[in-house]
């Protein structure tokens, strides 16, 4: 099979589209022929040598995709021809991939492989933030950092579907425009202290203390990323004095079973099918054009998901 690989760390130029051996499914794994692959910043970090990797050179990155089962273990409940997706299986930047059956998510007819590959990882993350880290309620005012990004844009929509008033913080006017077209209020600068927000979803990291100051008494900061760098130390007295909460969380703590994965994914699929959740796709590249896709993602100029198509 063909795969997008790298044997040394560096920029997009280290990526090579080469022939590699077909994967051999281990017990409990299904073999998939991929139709669409989601490109994420974690893939960039792996290529740069800043993130964990599976296997040995030539490395195959990629953890998110969708396609059709070629073969499945007997008794697994899956069969050849089934349409499935996944959000956390390694070696996805290839024509074929072996995936643990418990990580597979069945796709309904209304959800294409491209939509699944663009939605699953970031959509499940946004859903977790909106329902588990802080259960958004109708009438609440929430600020979302990096609101034009993959997780941020979906989180804005999920919050609105719950009846919350969603404010988006973005880094440029170009990114703001798309959110305004969807009817959202957008800020190019963070609000000042005392903004009386119910919740701030902070993926910047370095701004956690500012986010705490923007809350009402009893409000919550959800810390879920470090795009700007590691967060500062937080004096617990800040939380005590304002009856405020600082929470974090990791999606993988709740995706603890195949049933959880499917249930949560089905909720997202239903919102997409009903038109309540839009899944933007910024661009599509063939797998052979992976270096171009990586360069575009690193430039941080896109709004929506970048897909690789085998």
> Mind listing the pLDDT tens digit for each residue in 189-246?
999 998 999 999 999 989 999 999 999 999 999 999 888 888 899 999 999 999 999 9
In a domain, 46, yes or no: yes
If asked whether residues 143 and 237 sit together in one domain, one would say yes
Domains of the chain: total: 2
Is 273 a member of any domain? Answer: no
Q: Is the pTM of this model over 0.75?
A: yes
Same structural domain for residues 177 and 220? Answer: yes
Q: Specify if 112 maps to a domain.
A: no
Q: Is residue 113 part of a domain?
A: no
Q: pLDDT tens for residues 5-32?
A: 999 999 999 999 999 999 999 999 999 9
| Same domain, yes or no: 66 and 183 | no
- Looking at the fold, whether 94 and 156 belong to one and the same domain comes out as no
CA distances from 211 to 137, 199, 200, 243 (A): 19, 9, 6, 14
User: Within a domain: residue 270?
Assistant: no
Find where tokens 């008494």 sit: 217
| The pLDDT value given to residue 302 | 77
- 242: part of which helix (H) or strand (E)? helix 236-242
Judge whether 16 lies within some domain.
yes
List Cβ neighbours of 235 (8 Å cut-off, separation of 6 or more). Answer: none
* Residue 44 maps to a domain: yes
Give the model's pLDDT for residue 303.
77
Comparing CA positions, the residue from 187, 150, 193, 149 lying closest to residue 166 is: 187
Q: What's residue 304's pLDDT?
A: 85
Same domain, 221 and 141: yes
What CATH number does the domain containing 293 carry?
Answer: 3.90.180.10
Q: Is the dihedral of CA 118, 120, 126, 131 positive or negative?
A: positive
Q: Are residues 133 and 101 in the same domain?
A: no
Are 93 and 145 part of one and the same domain? no
Q: For residues 5-38, b (16+ Cβ closer than 10 Å) or e, as one string?
A: bbeeeeebebbeeeebeebebeeebbbbebbbbb
> What's the Cα-to-Cα distance from 222 to each of 174, 185, 200, 261, rounded to whole Å?
26, 20, 6, 22
User: Domain containing 178: what range?
Assistant: 125-252
pLDDT of residue 225: 86
Q: Are residues 81 and 139 in the same domain?
A: no
Both 101 and 136 in a single domain? no
Assess whether 129 and 102 both reside in one domain: no
- Domain assignment present for residue 268? The answer is no
Report pLDDT for 262.
97
Extract the residue ranges of the chain whose pLDDT is less than 70. Answer: none
Tell me how far apart the terminal alpha carbons of the chain are, to the nearest angstrom. 10
Let me know whether 174 and 287 are in one domain.
no
Q: How many other β-carbons are positioned within 10 Å of the β-carbon of residue 240?
A: 9
One domain, residues 286 and 232: no
The CATH number assigned to the domain holding 199 equals 3.40.50.720
d(CA 70, CA 84): 11
């Amino acid at each position: 099979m063909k795969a997008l690989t790298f044997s040394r760390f560096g920029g997009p130029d280290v990526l090579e589209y080469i022939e590699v051996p077909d994967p051999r499914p281990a017990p409990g794994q299904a073999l998939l022929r991929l139709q669409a692959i989601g490109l994420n910043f974690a893939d960039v970090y792996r290529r740069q040598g800043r993130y964990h990797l599976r296997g040995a050179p030539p490395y195959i990155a990629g953890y998110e995709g969708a396609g059709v089962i070629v073969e499945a273990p007997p008794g697994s409940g899956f069969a050849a021809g089934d349409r499935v997706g996944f959000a956390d299986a390694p070696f996805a930047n290839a024509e074929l991939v072996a995936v643990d059956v418990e990580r597979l998510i069945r796709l309904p007819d209304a959800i294409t492989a491209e939509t699944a590959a663009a939605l699953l990882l970031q959509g499940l993350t946004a859903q977790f933030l909106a329902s588990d880290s802080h259960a958004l309620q109708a009438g609440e005012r929430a600020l979302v950092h990096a609101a034009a990004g993959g997780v941020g844009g979906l989180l804005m929509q999920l919050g609105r579907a719950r009846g919350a008033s969603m404010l988006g913080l973005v880094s440029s006017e170009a990114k703001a425009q798309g959110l305004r077209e969807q009817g959202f209020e957008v800020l190019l600068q963070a609000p000042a202290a005392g903004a009386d927000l119910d919740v701030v979803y902070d993926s910047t990291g370095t701004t956690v203390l500012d986010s705490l100051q923007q809350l009402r008494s009893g409000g919550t900061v959800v810390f879920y990323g470090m795009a700007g760098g590691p967060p500062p130390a937080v004096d617990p007295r800040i939380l005590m004095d304002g009856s405020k909460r600082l929470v974090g969380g990791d999606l993988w703590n709740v995706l603890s079973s195949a049933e959880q994965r499917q249930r949560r994914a089905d909720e997202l699929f239903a919102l997409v099918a009903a038109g309540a959740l839009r899944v933007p796709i910024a661009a599509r590249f063939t797998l052979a054009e992976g270096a171009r896709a990586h360069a575009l993602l690193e430039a941080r100029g896109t709004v929506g998901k970048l897909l690789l198509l085998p």
